[in-house]
Structure 1
Amino acid sequence: MAKTSAAKTNSGRFFEDYALGDVITHAVPRTVSGGERAMYHALYPARHALYSSDEFARRSGLPKSPLDDLAAFHIVFGKTVPDVSLNAVANLGYAEGRWLLPVYEGDTLRSTSEVIGVKQNSNGKSGVVYVRTRGLNQRDETVMEYVRWVMVRKGNLEAPAPETVLPDLAKVIPADQLVVPAGLDFSDYDFDLAGEPHRWGDYAVGETINHVDGVTIEEAEHMLATRLWQNTAKVHFDTTARPDGTRLIYGGHVISMARALSFNGLANAQMIVGLNGGAHANPCLSGTTIRAWSEVLDKADTDAPGVGAIRLRLVATKGGDPFALKGEDGKYLPDVLLDLDYWALMPK
């Protein structure tokens, strides 16, 4: 009779397996090719010129077109899933995200995470884990970093609750801490090729923009995207992992879809350089039609020629009032899928 053993397999970490200060080195390094760039543009209606054209990127002072910032985020994020959120109930939020270096074809990315906070929930069945994740390239340079917090099930309900430690996280990344890629220069920016004439100075704080278009999420493309990013969270793959038998759409898929939709009205918000905060307000399932709107929250100068920074709230919805966000009780409305607060770079 064949012997079986579970000792060599990984069932994922549960809440009681995390301890403050733990540093996790995530498998598996990934060398980026032109395939990721092409696949990203196939999965999302992504049309920002800086990520579409080497010539446009060179005219903007970069050596060539980098990998889309969110594609780099997905690669770094996906590596963390087996160690951080394989047994997650929900991915709750983001903070202090900064893109520090562009990622180019040929770069090899890997990820590490440090546990910076833990809090058991009152039901004793789950808890919230806070991690700071860094994506590094083959030169051990940090290309991006962010904090996220995840609700994770307990494997042993009798495991004692850890001492609660909640990290002190900045609500907004100060504009002077944003990193503009070396050489970026929008002083010779081609607005015709970019697709819209609107400059940094054309946007006002408090302005809202309805991005008009919608995209219906399909099961096949979601599964392809989640596999591309090597995201192994059970709720995205296994229909037995959720009581209703559905597969939850990866939150990053919603982020990228909403960002792509925002091109219509924000075509010149070229590079994402900061992630101030974000919440996946309600679950997204296959068949949902995503729409998006944005609000201008702030603006700032940078030292780069012709480059301004703009802080945007990006909201993805299932429809309804395009500018409705929360009810009188302060909770997100049922149609709201995503509430993302980020900094982008735009020509002045």
Structure 2
Amino acid sequence: MKTNAGRFFEDYRLGEVIVHAVPRTVKMGERALYHALYPARHALYSSDQFAQDCGLPFSPLDDLIAFHVVFGKTVPDVSLNAVANLGYAEGRWLAPVWPGDTLRSESTVIGLKQNSNGQSGVVYVRTRGLNQHDLPVLEYVRWVMVKKRDFAVAAPEAVVPDLAKSVAAADLVIPAGLDFSRYNFALAGEPHRLGDYAVGEVIDHVDGVTIEEAEHMLATRLWQNTAKVHFDATNRPDGRRLIYGGHVISLARALSFNGLANAQMLVALNGGAHANPCFAGDTVRAWSEVLDRAETSAPGVGAIRLRLVATKGAAGALRGADGKYLPEVLLDLDYWALMPV
């Protein structure tokens, strides 16, 4: 058989290392398309001159471009037959991705747990993105609910990895040379420094974007994500195409510019959940909560830990009285970003 129907839950083995196919060289075309698809306008990723004034040789590609490319490589081997992408943990951006870099991905299976219905199970993988020098640029853990092919296959021994609740500030990787001591707040778009944000503060990012069918499918193809639920309307009983969760992440991150224009570089992904499905026609809004602040060793550079929530509802609303996510909440993401002090 020449074709590949994708892996099912019973096809994974604990400790298995999966080398994902099709390395990809990323250039300015990816940036142009990224900025066309999302309202992304953080200055460090828009201007070589701004980046050079911050100590970098020129402007790197957006951190979420690296995430999407690395993630997309994994889909044929990890989530082609996924029911849902459930969460993230222990993510770190380890080096900037520059135009002309070639990225590839590899994943290690670190956990398996069959669901009680016997028809699916959860697969945990630790994924690394590497550049053309075999240097890691990104790593993260994610867990996915995957269908079983044969319901009669016995369940494997359940192994659920013990994952850190967050990346420690001391473990954040600061890009070499980064220096915010000459940071131009006027060109960045807002005057707010790290000290202007209080732990517990909630920021309503005000704006919204309505997702269109063609737009989300173009974005998902751009990242070479082949998951059936995003393209094939016959794959779900309701006949609807599910929006790729990364598309929602990028929309929310871009919307957060209004209020967090100086949260420039993503350096860690502490945790995240796609709380409810998103479909074409949904209008996505975003709000953030400040969770923590930290100093770094780089001149003028601090770190801010944020909860980023994408929602169809009101800012600040997250869970109901039962502790479950409200039905209008699409994404709950916990991350660290670098900001001038």
TM over 0.5: yes
**Partner Cα distance (1:30, 1:114) in 2:** 20
Show the counterpart of 2:47: 53
Alignment of 1:26 onto 2:5: no
| Displacement after TM superposition at 1:294 (Å) | 0.2
Show the counterpart of 1:65: 59
Show the counterpart of 1:343: 336
Show the counterpart of 2:325: 332
Residue by residue over 1:120-139, the C-alpha shift from the partner in whole angstroms, topping out at 9 and shown as x without a partner, is 00000000000000000000
| Displacement after TM superposition at 1:33 (Å) | 1.1
Show the counterpart of 1:4: none
Alignment of 1:46-195 (within 5 A): 46-195=40-189
| Displacement after TM superposition at 1:173 (Å) | 0.5
Residue by residue over 1:32-83, the C-alpha shift from the partner in whole angstroms, topping out at 9 and shown as x without a partner, is 1110011000000001000000110011011110010011100000000000
Alignment of 1:270-285 (within 5 A): 270-285=264-279
Show the counterpart of 1:244: 238
Alignment of 1:269 onto 2:236: no
* 3-state secondary structure, aligned to 2:254: helix
* 3-state secondary structure, aligned to 1:27: coil
Show the counterpart of 2:297: 303
TM-score (norm 1): 0.98
| Displacement after TM superposition at 1:322 (Å) | 1.2
**Partner Cα distance (1:216, 1:64) in 2:** 33
Structure 1 gaps of 5+ residues are 1-6
The number of aligned residues is: 341
Residue by residue over 1:95-134, the C-alpha shift from the partner in whole angstroms, topping out at 9 and shown as x without a partner, is 0000000000110000000000000000000000000000
**Partner Cα distance (2:304, 2:25) in 1:** 31
* Stretches (4+) displaced over 2 A: none
**Partner Cα distance (1:143, 1:211) in 2:** 29
Structure 2 gaps of 5+ residues are none
Percent identity, aligned pairs only, is: 80
**Partner Cα distance (2:145, 2:282) in 1:** 24
**Partner Cα distance (2:58, 2:22) in 1:** 26
**Partner Cα distance (1:286, 1:32) in 2:** 27
**Partner Cα distance (1:263, 1:314) in 2:** 12
TM-score (norm 2): 1.00
